[in-house]
Amino acid sequence: KVEATMCLVVPIDTSEGRTGELIGLLRDRAAKLSIAG
């Protein structure tokens, strides 16, 4: 479900820099969740 959401969100945001920030935040969260889990 997360990947599907990304597919919908990324194309809408035309700013590549903004998209990079989004992906960075998601990766950071995923890393924290992995450590916590």
Residue 37 pLDDT level (bands cut at 50, 70, 90): low
Q: Note the pLDDT tens digit of each residue in 20-29.
A: 888 888 899 8
% the chain with pLDDT above 90: 0
Q: What's the predicted TM-score (pTM) here?
A: 0.45
Which of the pair, 22 or 1, is modelled with greater confidence? 22
DSSP string of 7-25?
HHHHHH---HHHHHHHHHH
With CA atoms as reference, report the closest residue to 26 among 6, 8, 4, 1.
6
